[in-house]
Structure 1
């Protein structure tokens, strides 16, 4: 079990710390455990570290997978893409005790924190870097045979839930499933995405604003001449469908918009959209910057851009269903906002071409094939 004392001992054993650093008293250890055991070892001067270890056998396997990905990039798995510039530095992983050590980005905040701190304004430059990062990632195809192949996201089969899901499902999510099942076209669209799933490139598989860290704008980071973003939490990375990652990023914007809509029984739906605290049109410049940077890094032709955009929009719609499900895991009844998530998902799946332009603000390339 990883503890404060074991964290220090581990770093000493792996020569990432020296005893004089402890004697000088310039080290603090913070327990930031959530799903995994996480400890921050902070030095006033010099390197600071994040130590991570799984609690259960399953979580330990995921930590080992994350460590494998860091080594993969460090040892040249993504050398041609340069993906390593968007990662925290990797220091070590001990197979015996399952402890992963990576760079602690002191003072970093998530993209979500940055968005809300700036009162709903999404910095275009950060969106551009996020697009470039995913483009670099999806160019990583060397050694894919060493990586696990991902299954299609389970949310694509939520309308046909396995028996096991009923053991822990909330009343609200049970209602959500029943609502979906009332609309065969909605279910068919998710089923089609499930059948179309591919495993031809490396994907992160858990792209969201909270997994992008914005490093502090200080002289130490500027001197490194690296981008401001770092993509973290690689536990689920595998070979899979690149459009799921892109669609998940689109969905983060959509979620911020939909969550900000004041849904009440007295407000007509069209009026509620006008009252959104974070209107989607204010995010259009960032969405376009993200998409353009992604396409540029990938070197996509106009026809490829169009096909990938529509496919990613469809996955963004599916990701909205997942967001709604996760938000209602402890709820009794679906909220108005979560019903709005479902409605938006269904609309986008039915008309992805229109959604790309009218909702995301990303124009299609003239004459490009679907």
Structure 2
């Protein structure tokens, strides 16, 4: 069965997640939000709706990513020691292994952190502090014994592909833009050296999200209705037993990437001049960055020296994650864009001088 906007409600009825009376009485709206996966949102007014995800490419790697997400949700639900994980994942309602469909709860009035920032045209420190604390609690949580649990088999304990992005074959079938990206990575020895070092330093310590960015962080009004927001982290397809610094780096690079991707690039204009066109200078985001980092460090109870070490590793992993962001930004483009080139340039600068990036760029 291939889901579509016209049959997704019938699927929920067949699975017992909706009743015919609910369909008649509720104000149901179906929104198609298909991207890499076939995604649908079923809205139910003030009631909890549904987010339905079905893979579009039925190959083993894609099937495995959906299984990893479903496995995370099952562990969160069934393993008491993973309470910090349970507090931040969406409510899982159904995993259809045969049809490769995952259904989770959709919170009323929820929006991604990207949508939140764009709507407010600002970067609230309370929201940054919220996700810093959540991530810190997740990374503080020791891994419980998972031997014998089938869900644990989906964790490959492998470094992310971005740390091998300078090697031929990482991108699979190369289009013109990704070929240019690979060429740039191979032309600069500093890229190759630092990526190899970080891959060798990869630590399988905690359960990590693996693809942390603003689009995967969701905020919604608290039940207390006092104007405060709560948050969840969604899309755990790349979850693994891995290095917490990768998750932290993902959040840090999200600020830098937003700053760069909103610049207005013009031919023959140097990057230093283009910076002035950014509607949100990076310095304006620094209070939010500091709030995120402070909350994370506080939850982990890191001493000063340990916090500094973690920060340097996170900044470097964030720079490596920017390569992935550049690839995602022009995956379907015929040519590499000026913004993607800027992402690579800033990534290289950070890898060469992470301490300077932490202080001058991130304000930490």
TM-score range, shorter chain: 0.7 to 0.9
Deviation at 1:124, TM superposition (A): 0.6
Counterpart of 1:40 in structure 2 is 41
Q: Is the 8 A contact 1:247 1:315 kept in 2?
A: yes
One of 109, 120, 125 as aligned partner of 1:107:
109
Matched, 1:213 2:218: yes
Counterpart of 1:156 in structure 2 is 163
Q: Secondary structure at the match of 2:224?
A: helix
Matched, 1:258 2:277: no
Q: State TM-score, norm by structure 2.
A: 0.88
Counterpart of 1:307 in structure 2 is 309
Supply the distance in 2 between the matched residues of 1:66 and 1:153 (Cα, whole angstroms): 16
Pick which of 95-104 and 201-210 moved more.
Answer: 95-104
Q: Is the 8 A contact 1:85 1:227 kept in 2?
A: no
Q: State TM-score, norm by structure 1.
A: 0.86
> Alpha carbons of 1:139 and 1:274: their partners in 2 closer, same or farther (altered >3 Å)?
same
> Alpha carbons of 1:49 and 1:337: their partners in 2 closer, same or farther (altered >3 Å)?
closer
Deviation at 1:308, TM superposition (A): 0.5
Counterpart of 1:366 in structure 2 is none
Pick which of 303-312 and 35-44 moved more.
Answer: 35-44
Deviation at 1:137, TM superposition (A): 2.0
TM alignment of 1:336-355, pairs within 5 A: 336-355=338-357
Supply the distance in 1 between the matched residues of 2:289 and 2:146 (Cα, whole angstroms): 29
Q: Is the 8 A contact 1:128 1:289 kept in 2?
A: yes
TM alignment of 1:1-370, pairs within 5 A: 1=1, 2-3=3-4, 7-24=8-25, 26-44=27-45, 46-55=47-56, 56-58=58-60, 59-81=62-84, 83-119=85-121, 121-140=122-141, 141-143=143-145, 145=147, 146=152, 148-162=155-169, 165=171, 168-215=173-220, 217=221, 221-222=223-224, 227-362=229-364
Supply the distance in 2 between the matched residues of 1:168 and 1:96 (Cα, whole angstroms): 28
Q: Is the 8 A contact 1:149 1:240 kept in 2?
A: no
CA distances 1:37-91 after superposition (whole Å, capped 9, x unpaired): 333333345432222232324434322321221111122355453x333222222
CA distances 1:109-131 after superposition (whole Å, capped 9, x unpaired): 21112222222x21111111111
RMSD: 2.6
Q: Is the 8 A contact 2:47 2:108 kept in 1?
A: no
Q: Secondary structure at the match of 1:87?
A: coil
How many residue pairs were aligned? 355
Q: Is the 8 A contact 2:46 2:108 kept in 1?
A: no
Name structure 1 gaps, 5 residues minimum. Answer: 363-370
Deviation at 1:205, TM superposition (A): 0.3
Deviation at 1:14, TM superposition (A): 4.8
Q: Is the 8 A contact 1:53 1:60 kept in 2?
A: no
